[in-house]
Structure 1
Amino acid sequence: MNAHSNSGNAAMVALVAITAISVASPAYSLDKVRFGTDWLAEADHGGFYQAVADGTYARYGLDVEILQGGPGAQNRALLLTSRLDFYLGTQQEQLIGIEQGIPLVDVAAFYQKNAQVILAHPDSGIEKFEDLAKLETIFMTQGGFGAYFEWMKANFDGFRDEQFRPYNFSPAPFLANKQSAQQGLITSEPYEVQKQAGTEPKIFLLADSGYKPYATTITVQQNLIDTNPDLVQRFVNASIEGWYNYLYGDNAAANALIKTTNPEMTDGQIEYAIAKMKQYGIVDSGDALDKGIGCLTAERYKWLVDELVKVKLLKADTDYTKAFDTRFSCKGVGLNLKG
């Protein structure tokens, strides 16, 4: 038998095999899912873009469209009006919403450590977190001033409202004032400061000083949990696997998708962000180490409730248990992918 007839037979076998598969497994349509993030595409969303890029969502029967956030985006409002199925939220935002009667629920928490940092100049004599109270100025957003800065004032001596100056997302005022500090995210602002100043600033991660709210939470309407818990579970599981693959596998396709979605994003920024996530255990630490990335517990919600009540940002009688559902995470999903 010649090579040509051999290849013809092989092709016929392959065709029969494909036909058998298609008969045994009738074509099905993926569940269409719309997921809104909290900012422009970046490494902080890497696991979700990974699950799109490497087909993990598709393996779970999901066709996921990611709508990036950013200036002017109203993705949380789109979730409330059912134009999104999932939203990337924050724990405090969620608890305040419950107090206001908003029926949203957190089902997974991908940042075990909030990525919030305070940056100081390396030559300003600021060696530990408490030393920041000595500075004249801390550049913060209004949101930060009303959230983590309240926690700082309640838990450390010396912090005072007079230190507050508005942060306009430019490091220039901080760089011009050696007796100042600046808020930021571990994955972003230190990189920009280092790029402009030539040296990395002093980095104080609030989570390592006791500020323990989750961040990067998956938030859904209660109605979706009630009517389609299987969809919620599949989205959570696939996102968890996406994060393991992003941090510990080949993330090139995900990073390419991030840069396509947000052309301002650079390879250097992405590499820096991933390195800091790993160095500080932002995603994979605490409960996530043995229960899996995305793990969310009632104890962590109770901790934040107590802190918010203490600084009068939440009423003591708020039924905080409506803010989260622990049934979808902490199951060890994806631990085998860590290698």
Structure 2
Amino acid sequence: MQRKLTRPFAHLACAAALAAMCTTTWAQDKVTFLTSWYAQAEHGGFYQALAGGIYKKHGLDVTIKMGGPQVNGMQLLTAGQADFIMGYDLQVLKSLEQGLPVTTVATSFQKDLQGMMTHENVSGLADLKTKTILVSTSGRPTWWPWLKAKYGYTEAQARPYTFNLQPFFADTNLVQQAYPSSEPFQANKAGVKTKFFLFADEGYPPYGTTIVATTKLVAEKPDVVQRFVRASIEGWKAYLANPAAGNVLIKQDNPKMDDEQITFAIQRMKELKVFDGGDAAKLGAGVMTDARWKQTYDFMVGAGLLKAETDWKKAYTTQFVKDLKVMP
């Protein structure tokens, strides 16, 4: 026969139950984020959010997976192998044209990081009509049509870029595509003086290092999307203020990334104001606008890169960034 608890013991049992409830750690939402390349400073905000407990603070258990040359992020996203990927506006618009259910929910940078590295005898992008321009395969359907339309470059000027800087070092009439923290860093290490021109500062419209999700996730778990966006943007603000924690994880994932290059990259991102420039300065980090997306759509259609009937407004949503107000 079961004995009834006397009043004192009943009180103790209730107290113990309440204590157990108070100390319970509620399960966090598991999220997988896939980057676009090997870990580097340009991914630092996400690593900082993980290392600094920012994701955890927002109820998220985040796993960051590195991308790379053989990784098709969009394919993995739509197959359910990642919840979010690091994306690119042109890629998302083209995916929509092909019927893929994806959308951009925030941007890390107000500016795309693609640019041109030249020798010191160049004063601007308008001066390149007599230069040989090294363009990669991936650059031809993205920024190269924009440059040709804006500055009147010709196909006769273009040569393949093989990610080897020796031709550039040997010929002062060569200019080449570059990222601010990569090729200029290598040139600097080799003692070659260069200039760098960011396409975004000349009007190239896409955002940089965006966060892309499936429309299914946005519709079914908007709270998870909102928390991931906020935590990631807070991570970027923290990383640019003090990157130490994020850098530890970056170097764990990519041991080839050393402190010198990371420091150089962070300095360049700050100088170019990719995180806190443009609309972010007034509206807050992570923000996107209809006007900017329309510019990207117009450029792609005008360059023959996108069908005009593509519903460009499905390529993004501002619902997760319009009220963030994470001021840089």
How high is the TM-score relative to the length of structure 1?
Answer: 0.89
Pairing partner for 2:205 from 202, 212, 219: 212
* Gap regions ≥5 residues in structure 2: 1-16
Deviations 1:184-217 (A, max 9, x none): 1112211111112x14411111111111211211
Distance 2:235 2:290 in 1: 24
* Gap regions ≥5 residues in structure 1: 1-18
Higher helix share: 1
Higher deviation after alignment, 22-31 or 163-172: 22-31
Distance 1:126 1:20 in 2: 72
Pairing partner for 2:112 from 88, 111, 114: 114
Pairing partner for 1:130 from 121, 126, 133: 126
Q: Report the 3-state secondary structure (helix = DSSP H, G, I; strand = E; otherwise coil) of the residue aligned with 1:317.
A: coil
Distance 1:45 1:302 in 2: 26
CA pair 24-139 structure 1, distance change in 2 beyond 3 A: same
Distance 1:127 1:251 in 2: 33
Q: How far apart are 1:20 and its partner, in Å?
A: 7.8
Match in the other structure for 2:3: none
RMSD: 1.5
1:304-323 → structure 2 map (5 Å cutoff): 304-323=296-315
Distance 1:169 1:333 in 2: 39
Higher deviation after alignment, 26-35 or 78-87: 26-35
Deviations 1:282-322 (A, max 9, x none): 11111111222111111111011111111111111111011
Q: Give yes or no for the alignment of 1:181 onto 2:175.
A: yes
Match in the other structure for 1:146: 141
User: Structure 2: which amino acid aligns with 1:129?
Assistant: L
Q: Report the 3-state secondary structure (helix = DSSP H, G, I; strand = E; otherwise coil) of the residue aligned with 1:327.
A: coil
Q: Give yes or no for the alignment of 1:280 onto 2:278.
A: no
Pairing partner for 1:237 from 194, 214, 230: 230
Match in the other structure for 1:82: 80
Task: Tell whether the 8 Å contact from 1:118 to 1:183 is kept in structure 2 after alignment.
Answer: yes
Q: How far apart are 1:25 and its partner, in Å?
A: 5.3
Task: Tell whether the 8 Å contact from 2:134 to 2:175 is kept in structure 1 after alignment.
Answer: yes
Distance 1:128 1:21 in 2: 67
Q: Report the 3-state secondary structure (helix = DSSP H, G, I; strand = E; otherwise coil) of the residue aligned with 1:144.
A: coil
Distance 2:42 2:322 in 1: 20
Q: Report the 3-state secondary structure (helix = DSSP H, G, I; strand = E; otherwise coil) of the residue aligned with 1:134.
A: coil
Deviations 1:76-106 (A, max 9, x none): 2111100100000100011111111111000
Q: Report the 3-state secondary structure (helix = DSSP H, G, I; strand = E; otherwise coil) of the residue aligned with 2:287.
A: coil
Match in the other structure for 2:5: none
Identity %: 42
Q: Report the 3-state secondary structure (helix = DSSP H, G, I; strand = E; otherwise coil) of the residue aligned with 1:329.
A: coil
